[in-house]
Structure 1
Amino acid sequence: MTPHVSVLIPAHNEADYIGSCLQAVFASDPLPAGMTAEVLVLANGCTDATAELARAAVPPEGWELQVLELPEGGKLGALNAGDAAARGDLLIYLDADVQVSPELIAQIAAALDGRAPCYASGCPQVPPARSLVTRAYARFWMRLPFFSGGVPGFGVFAMNRTGRQRWGVWPDIIADDIFARLHFTPQERVQVTASYSWPMVEGFRNLVKVRRRQNAGVAEVAESWPQLMQNEDTPRVGPGRALRLLLRDPAGFLAYAAVALAVKTPLFASRSRWTRGR
């Protein structure tokens, strides 16, 4: 049976990003021999031109494009609708503001092409930010173990159908990427060499809001699915390493520490569980 790749892109009011996201996907290198592919744009609760811009994209030979318009907003509902519609043996989940390198999808497809449960992602790159605080924060953050080691999977993560069968519908959670990653042991996770561009939010306020959501997402998974935490392989930053990071980049350390401290206060608090930060 010919393997089929499904790229699922949940998108809520992503008119500024969906065109370049699809352009990058459709500029991908040829898939491994015999594979075909489809892209499903999961436009959920959009009040802008996301769906229209997605339909205007022209897929190359060997690719299909389907735009699902869902009246209700919500990433997890969109993922469930996408999973139900996807025909692929290999599932790649892609944020709409991410741009993949030409090699990424083909490398992920090759890594997942097998019967054993497997999870894969690429090497994230954070493009230079406009704001000084985000540039400093990102510079420090990219030296932390979560980013520099393991297979983080934020922005892009993928699995074969055998791996996806480890849980049913996507639950209503904050951190879908962490939930998915922790369903696989470190030995089942593969990081391919190809890269992707993942933009960080701009400015101190947005960094605090998104960091607070990320922390809440990790805590939610740990509380509701404690058994998954045995698959967490990110080492903690000890005092020695923290000191070395401080000496190497004092400005980055201060930006990161300021955001981490602000998260513990009511500053910029939001009632929404989903904070985009832009």
Structure 2
Amino acid sequence: MTPPCSIILPAHDEADYIGACLGHILAQDHRGPAEVIVIANGCSDDTAARARAQQPGFAARGWQLRVEELAQGGKIGALNHGDACAGPGIRLYLDADIRMGPRLLSGLVRVLDADEPRYAGGRLVVAPARSAVSRAYARFWQKLPFVAQGVTGAGLFAVNEAGRARWGAFPQIISDDTFARLQFAEAERFLVDEPYEWPLVEGFSPLVRVRRRQDMGVAEIARLFPDLPSRQGHVRPGKGELLRLAAADPLGFATYAAVALAVRMGRNRQEWARGR
């Protein structure tokens, strides 16, 4: 029997994105039981109303779409609230701006239908950017081994029931996806070769802010959970790999390196930054 799947979807002021995100969930070829829990947290727009407008479509498939509203914003609180609402089985944690390829959910469920703890994700594809800088950065970043061959967890990750038992509530940290991924050894992490579209911020300064926050999140986990970083696996490319990638895309490499240098030069600045 196919295990049930709960999709936990935190959403803060995502009115422009929630409809497409839910529409792509509804278009999945998965035929097993599923529920979607949208946690609209601290919203000042009509995210919750737009999500509820999709309920008839989910009901027609025999899936439940539940919309929870929290007065207080914050992704970690929304994740923990969603976990408290969810039933047993597989958990898929999804950002509200993600668009899943139509076979991704069924692929994740197949991989996670196991007794031993497992973590899984899809093949990340950066959504087309308007900014030339963002396009160049994305083109190079997507070819790095961690993104091209690994399970990044950026915007989307899933665990089976045994895997979710590895930790309790999500702690108040910046990088929930890194925290979840590092609960698992490399051999327990599975890449499903089906795409999902992940948006990137537009322009040089926003890229620097996002990259700085990502680095802060990784450093925070190393500080608070010093046993976890040893499970990172192949994250940084070797010198030979980097030279090969740079030779293949000099402009992409220059853009990526400029962002990294700007982050390092301003490493003590702590602006808040969203992923887009």
The TM-score normalised by the length of structure 1 is 0.94
Q: Which amino acid aligns with 1:26?
A: L
Against the structure 1 CA distance between its residues 277 and 101, is the aligned structure 2 distance closer, same or farther, given a 3 Å change threshold? closer
Cα distance in 1, alignment partners of residues 265 and 81 from structure 2: 36
**Could you tell me how far apart the structure 2 residues matched to 1:92 and 1:233 are?**
22
Uncovered stretches (5+) of structure 2, i.e. residues with no partner = none
Match runs of 1:115-126 below 5 Å: 115-126=115-126
1:112 pairs with 2:127: no
1:126-205 equivalences under 5 Å are 126-205=126-205
Asked if the contact 1:208/1:268 (under 8 Å) is kept, the reply is no
C-alpha distance 138-268 of structure 1, shift in aligned 2 (>3 A): farther
Partner residue, 1:62: 62
Partner of 2:50: 53
Contact (CA 8 Å) 2:199, 2:275: kept in 1 or not? no
Write the distance in 1 (CA, Å) between the matches of 2:177 and 2:235.
18
Q: Relative to structure 2, which stretch is displaced further, 85-94 or 260-269?
A: 260-269
Distance 2:187 2:241 in 1: 25
Residue deviations 1:17-63, cap 9 Å, x none? 000000000010033xxx31000001110001100100001314121
Rounded Cα–Cα distance in structure 2 between residues aligned with 1:112 and 1:246: 36
Q: Unaligned stretches of 5+ in structure 1? A: none
Q: Which structure 2 residues correspond to residues 1-278 of structure 1 after superposition, within 5 A?
A: 3-31=3-31, 35-57=32-54, 58-59=57-58, 60-266=60-266, 269-272=269-272, 275-276=273-274, 278=276
SS of the residue 1:264 aligns to: helix
Report the RMSD for the aligned CA atoms in angstroms: 1.6
How far residue 13 of structure 1 moved from its aligned partner, in angstroms, is 0.5
1 CA distance for matches of 2:270 and 2:183? 29
Identity %: 53
Contact 1:150–1:233 under 8 Å retained in 2: no
**Residues 231-240 or 137-146, more deviating:** 231-240
Using structure 2 for the length normalisation, give the TM-score. Answer: 0.95
Q: 1:66 to 1:141 in 2, by over 3 A?
A: same
Equivalent pairs counted in the alignment come to 273
Secondary structure of the equivalent of 1:13?
coil
DSSP-derived class of the 2:227 partner = helix
